[in-house]
Amino acid sequence: MNDPMTPSPFRVERVRKELSDTFTLDLVPADGKRDFPFLPGQFNMLYAFGVGEVPISISGDPSKPDTIVHTTRVVGAVTRAMRNLGVGHTIGVRGPYGTAWPVEEMQGADVVIVTGGIGLAPLRPAIYSILENRSAFGNVSILYGARTPEDILYRKELEKWRGMFDMQVDVTVDYATGRWAGKVGVVTKLIQRGGFHPQDSIALICGPEIMMKFAVQALQDRGVTDDRIYVSMERNMKCGIGFCGHCQLGGDFVCRDGPVFRFDTLADKFAISEL
Amino acid sequence: MTANKSEALGTFVIAPSELGSLISALREDGYEVIGPKLADGAIVHEPLESADDLPVGYDDEQEGGTYRVAKNGANTYFDYVVGPHSWKRYLFPPDQQLCQMRRQGKTFRLIETKQEIPRYAFFGVRSCDLHAMQVQDKVFDNGEFADPGYMERRKAAFVVVVNCLRPAATCFCASMDTGPRATGGYDLALTELASKGRHEFLVEVGSSRGEEIFAKVSGRPATEADQSAPETASAKAANAMKREMVPDVQALLKRNLEHRRWDDVAKRCLTCANCTLVCPTCFCTTVEDYTDLTGSTAERRRRWDSCFTMDFSYVHGGSVRRETYARYRQWMTHKLSSWFDQFDVSGCVGCGRCITWCPVGIDITEEARAIRDSEGSR
């Protein structure tokens, strides 16, 4: 019997610095080329030698499964060790785990993507999937909030997507710096003004929990119903497969029943503090 | 895994001296026999070499925050009930290596390690604890993933049940429908028959594996009167039970996730994690990383963890459950309510250990009752 807790060695193929504290690793299996299929929204457990393991969402293109892409922010010992990895280094991978964004169900609907900070990383595979088959979807809006203009993740891609004329990309920052003449304020304000049809829309949200809470409220105020809102939750995880118990949210294991939840299945729990 | 039959494959009566033959038969068959021993003033589960290791003539006195073992002057083997150990420490060890890696320059590779699967014979498993094993069976094989170590240890394990003849004051298995009598899922079940000068054991054979081992023990077929003994004794023990869980506790807690009682219990709870460590079903773990001094080999170890620690729910920026009320609520609602959502079974088997071993005597049945009673007065 294979032990699902044993990581597989992967080779770092490429390292990109995204922001002052955020980097992207491209990984391939160390034991030779093989595809690593995943669904947008799923995550891997990444292991840094001798330091530990953390759950990190996959942020690459699902149609290019020969490379796994992870964008990570340095927040603790493991992510710090991961930032120090270079091309040719080995990293341990287990996955992919968890539920996915409802890309199939979104076909024919308007799509509203609401995200803040590094929350754009778990949504990028969904955006790639939409672009792959753009005509199958209605209006597509990406509403993105960052702390400052220097914290805008995947800036070049956001600019490219905005220039494609078939999607709306709206960006706001909490604090303007330098020559920023764009919007200042919380991302939920963009929902109030966003050019989407609430009844026809499916919304995907990923960001800090407090931001998701207000984003849900703003979407509800616009008339988007809970069964058409999806959120991606974050909890402590030691295993990713329902054994360690750390990620429990009521009866749900965020690792297996999530991280992507349809909001109507979560609304009761979301409302209770420290659950 | 043991056969799940309520009908015994045969019922026999043996003399107390034959307990030794049973232990020998198991040892000769290659089992490591684990059973009750008296150590440090408690009945614990340790390897047994012979029936001489069994504590004879002991009682236990249990209450919220209290546990005392005392000689009762009798010649009986199993008057005490459950102590601080549950069998999970053998099937689901508190500290276990997950994997080892060796660094070579920029790269590292896994070191192949072969872990021997022990063949345990659990001697003296009470019905509540047998149910706890069945609960953990569902935890460690969740349909999508299985823990191979647990599965193999469990499959290899031989289970000798002892039916309880008296409850401790903290027991409430009758209200959880998990005892005092085991009705299946064992290889052999013993009921101690000791009254009016008689001292014998009724043996119910529950599996073909049990049949093979029992063939090496001498006994006589049970009479009809003998065969009714476990039921009679267990009904008596159930009637003597002082505590019970309120009915429909799953739904009760689900609709009371916000309740003033959580603040009340938070004033008493020390978040010491004792309840989770003695609980026979608690399964939460953490993983710790080690390297040797040169940093060339690394190891990952899985260790028991507890939802009562602050670190348990830590995500960057802080813990989800900062307050005591939230951590106690997580534990109790998980046991009695959300466990059903996850595994279609209660996470509590009514063994009462969490009551006995709570240093401040918090009583899970009392906490549930307080919430139920508050609803009545609404």
Provide CATH code, domain A8-97.
Answer: 2.40.30.10
Go through chain A and tell me how many residues it has. Answer: 275
Verify whether the Cβ–Cβ distance B284 to A246 is below 8 Å.
yes
Verify whether the Cβ–Cβ distance A50 to B99 is below 8 Å.
no
Residue B175: per-residue pLDDT:
97
Mean predicted confidence (pLDDT) in B271-282 = 98
pLDDT tens per residue across span A95-143: 999 999 999 999 999 999 999 999 999 999 999 999 999 999 999 999 9
Percentage of chain A beyond pLDDT 90 is 96
pLDDT tens per residue across span A29-76: 998 878 999 999 999 999 999 999 999 999 999 999 999 999 999 999
A110-232: in CATH 3.40.50.80: yes
What is the secondary structure of A155-168 as a DSSP string? HHHHHHHHTTSSSE
Output Rg (C-alpha) for chain A, integer angstroms. 18
Cα of B166 vs its chain's centroid, Å: 18
Residue A227: per-residue pLDDT:
97
Verify whether the Cβ–Cβ distance B283 to A243 is below 8 Å.
yes
Omega before residue B94 within 30° of 0, cis:
no
Chain A residue with Cα closest to B144: A241
Percentage of chain B beyond pLDDT 70 is 97
Contacts of A250 in chain B (CB under 8 A): 257, 333, 338, 341
Whether A181 has a pLDDT exceeding 50, the answer reads yes
Whether B191 has a pLDDT exceeding 50, the answer reads yes
Token look-up 């009016």 returns B196
Whether B211 has a pLDDT exceeding 90, the answer reads yes
Interface test with A, best of B114, B136, B285 (most A CBs within 10 A): B285
Verify whether the Cβ–Cβ distance A246 to B109 is below 8 Å.
no
| Partner-chain residue, chosen from A11, A52, A75, that has the shortest CB–CB distance to B289 | A52
Band the pLDDT of B376: cuts 50, 70, 90.
confident
Three-state secondary structure call for residue A199: helix
CA distance B258 to chain A (A): 8
Q: What are phi and psi of B18, to 5 degrees?
A: -75, -10
**Nearest by Cα to B131 from B333, B279, B309, B330:** B279
Task: Please give the C-alpha separations between residue A239 and each of A64, A75, A150, B307, B316, in angstroms, as whole numbers.
Answer: 26, 19, 34, 15, 17
Three-state secondary structure call for residue A178: coil
Mean predicted confidence (pLDDT) in A202-221 = 97
Residue A208: per-residue pLDDT:
95
Band the pLDDT of B196: cuts 50, 70, 90.
confident
Task: Please give the C-alpha separations between residue A128 and each of A112, A134, A262, B121, in angstroms, as whole numbers.
Answer: 14, 9, 21, 55
Token look-up 């830590």 returns B314
Contacts of B291 in chain A (CB under 8 A): 50
Whether B2 has a pLDDT exceeding 50, the answer reads no
Chain B residue with Cα closest to A84: B106
Band the pLDDT of B195: cuts 50, 70, 90.
confident
pLDDT tens per residue across span B154-173: 999 999 999 999 999 999 99
Output the CA angle B346-B347-B348, nearest 5 degrees. 90
| Strand residues in chain A grouped as ranges (E) | 8-19, 22-29, 43-48, 52-57, 68-73, 90-97, 110-116, 140-146, 168-173, 183-184, 201-206, 229-232, 248-249, 252-253, 260-262
Whether B31 has a pLDDT exceeding 80, the answer reads yes
Report helix, strand and coil shares of chain A as percent, to nearest 5: 25, 30, 45
Q: Across chain A, what does the average pLDDT equal?
A: 96
Residue B377: per-residue pLDDT:
52
Whether B5 has a pLDDT exceeding 80, the answer reads no
Burial bucket for residue A153 (CB in 10 Å: 0-12, 13-18, 19+)? buried
Band the pLDDT of B6: cuts 50, 70, 90.
very low
Cα of B97 vs its chain's centroid, Å: 22
Three-state secondary structure call for residue A122: helix
pLDDT tens per residue across span B61-95: 999 999 999 999 899 999 999 999 999 999 999 99
Residue B114 contacts A, CB cutoff 8 Å: no
Whether A158 has a pLDDT exceeding 50, the answer reads yes
Chain B residue with Cα closest to A251: B338
Say which residues have a Cβ less than 8 Å from residue B236's Cβ, sequence separation at least 6. B165
Residue B114: per-residue pLDDT:
82
Chain A residue with Cα closest to B92: A243
Verify whether the Cβ–Cβ distance B106 to A86 is below 8 Å.
yes
pLDDT tens per residue across span A20-34: 999 999 999 998 878
Say which residues have a Cβ less than 8 Å from residue B272's Cβ, sequence separation at least 6. B308, B359
Q: Which two tokens stand for residue A156?
A: 């070049």
**What is the domain partition of chain A in residue ranges?**
8-97, 110-232
| ipTM, interface predicted TM-score of the complex | 0.95
Say which residues have a Cβ less than 8 Å from residue B158's Cβ, sequence separation at least 6. B2, B26, B31, B119, B120, B121, B122, B187, B209, B210, B213
Residue B313 contacts A, CB cutoff 8 Å: yes
Q: Which two tokens stand for residue A57?
A: 């969402």
Residue B125: per-residue pLDDT:
98
In chain B, residues 73-102 whose CB comes closer than 8 Å to chain A: 98-99, 101
| Partner-chain residue, chosen from B108, B110, B145, that has the shortest CB–CB distance to A4 | B145
Residue B138 contacts A, CB cutoff 8 Å: no
Residue A164 contacts B, CB cutoff 8 Å: no
Residue B378 CA to residue B375 CA, distance in Å, equals 5
Residue A186 CA to residue A168 CA, distance in Å, equals 17
pLDDT tens per residue across span B93-132: 999 999 999 999 999 999 998 888 999 999 999 999 999 9
Higher confidence at residue A31 or residue B365? Answer: B365
Residue B145 contacts A, CB cutoff 8 Å: yes
Q: Which residues make beta-bridge pairs with A120?
A: none
Encode chain B in three state secondary structure.
Answer: CCCCCCCCCEEEEECCCHHHHHHHHHHHCCCEEEEEEEECCEEEEEECCCHHHCCCCEEEEEECCEEEEEECCCCCCCCCCCCCCCCHHHHCCCEEEEEEEEEECCEEEEECCCCCCCCEEEEEECHHHHHHHHHHHHHCECCCCECHHHHHHHHHCEEEEECCCCCCCCCCHHHHCCCCCCCCCCCEEEEEEEECCEEEEEEEECCHHHHHHHCCCCCEECCHHHHCHHHHHHHHHHHCCCCCCCCCHHHHHHCCCCCHHHHHHHHHCCCCCHHHHHCCCCCCEEEEEEECCCCCEEEEEEEECCCCCCHHHEECCEECCCCHHHHHHHHHHHHHHHHHHHHCCCCCCCCCHHHHCCCCCCCHHHHHHHHHHHHHCC
CA distance B294 to chain A (A): 11
Whether B378 has a pLDDT exceeding 90, the answer reads no
Residue A58 CA to residue A39 CA, distance in Å, equals 9
Task: Please give the C-alpha separations between residue B315 and each of B274, B318, B327, B338, in angstroms, as whole numbers.
Answer: 24, 6, 15, 22
Say which residues have a Cβ less than 8 Å from residue B232's Cβ, sequence separation at least 6. none
Burial bucket for residue A155 (CB in 10 Å: 0-12, 13-18, 19+)? middle
Verify whether the Cβ–Cβ distance A7 to B290 is below 8 Å.
no
Whether B273 has a pLDDT exceeding 70, the answer reads yes
In chain A, residues 29-48 whose CB comes closer than 8 Å to chain B: 30, 47
Contacts of B312 in chain A (CB under 8 A): 236, 246
